Amino acid sequence: MVQLQQTLGVWPTLYDSMKTPVTVDVLEAGLILAVVMLAFCFLIILPGIRGRERIYCSIRVAVSLFLGACIILCNWGQYWETDQVHVTTQYKAFTNQTIEGTVGIRIGLRNVNITLKGDPENQIGERINYNERFWWSFPWHQGRIGFGPFAAEVSQEFREAQYKGLPYPILWVAEYFTFDGEGIRWGRNYRGAGFYTHIMEWTAFCCWIIANILFFMNPRLGAYMTMIMGGFMLVGNILWASIRNFNDLVIPFDNHEVGPVELEPHYGWCFWLNMVAGK
């Protein structure tokens, strides 16, 4: 085989993997696209509706699509809590190289997303643009203490990230979600809040489907079901705010220009959108 390759001058080509940063949430973009497609389909059939019924039908469909989109995006969105800070930090473990960049955190119902982007992006001979996600919803159970095969999902993924050699700032943030003792249980609390809130979101989605069916049969019953749907969404907000954390999550970093800085997640647009839509 080797002789044949030498004769023909053909050799197998091996290329390094092209690692590119995550620039968009594919799931979130897909959900938005699905809603846009439904709206486009309605616009196609809109000319076939005559008189004032066209206006009433347009309002009902627009409001219904908006509420459905809010439920889906808030259920799967990554912005229930978010924050970012500009830091000067050690790049990786067992090295004295420091970088400047922005560390971000985005907490959803099912996971936490941690980002690190260099400022400038190209430093110390490489491109610094990381986007890592740590799950706690597959499965939803808490798991045992530690990092073994029966530990929590977020703990297992944290240990895997250590083996992969991810940058120190990402590991520093992710480690806070693995603590589980002495009242310091951010991972456990966020997992519990996400679990109960996502149940309320799915219940609201079922009510949304039933409301759309009732609007074609009895608009009054459809309106009542829409109110019930909004109630479940607001209950989701209450559960998240009540269970999410008993101790504020504050992650310290250093910035050579302003001194110590803190990464402290606050309510994001998913939380507020869910509340507004529920009202």
Domain positions in the chain are 81-187+251-266
pLDDT in tens, the chain (279 residues): 555 455 555 555 555 565 665 667 788 888 888 888 988 888 888 888 787 888 888 888 888 999 999 999 999 988 999 999 999 988 888 888 888 999 999 999 999 999 999 888 888 888 888 999 998 877 777 777 777 787 888 888 889 988 888 999 999 999 999 888 777 888 888 999 999 999 999 999 999 999 999 988 888 999 999 999 999 999 999 999 999 888 889 999 888 877 889 999 999 999 999 999 988
- Report the distance separating Cα 166 and Cα 84, nearest Å: 18
- The residues with which 112 forms a beta bridge, in sequence order, are 107, 134
- For residue 14, the model assigns a pLDDT of 58
Spell 39-71 as b/e; 16+ CB within 10 A means b: eeebeeeeeeeeeeeeeeeeeebeebbebbbbb
Q: Which of 81, 272, 88, 90 is nearest to 177 (CA)?
A: 81
**Residue 113, phi then psi, degrees to nearest 5:** -110, 125
Spell 259-272 as b/e; 16+ CB within 10 A means b: eebebebebbebbe
Tokens representing 92?
């990786």
Q: Model pTM?
A: 0.84
Are residues 207 and 164 in contact, defined by beta-carbon separation less than 8 angstroms? no
- For residue 74, the model assigns a pLDDT of 92
Size (the chain), residues: 279
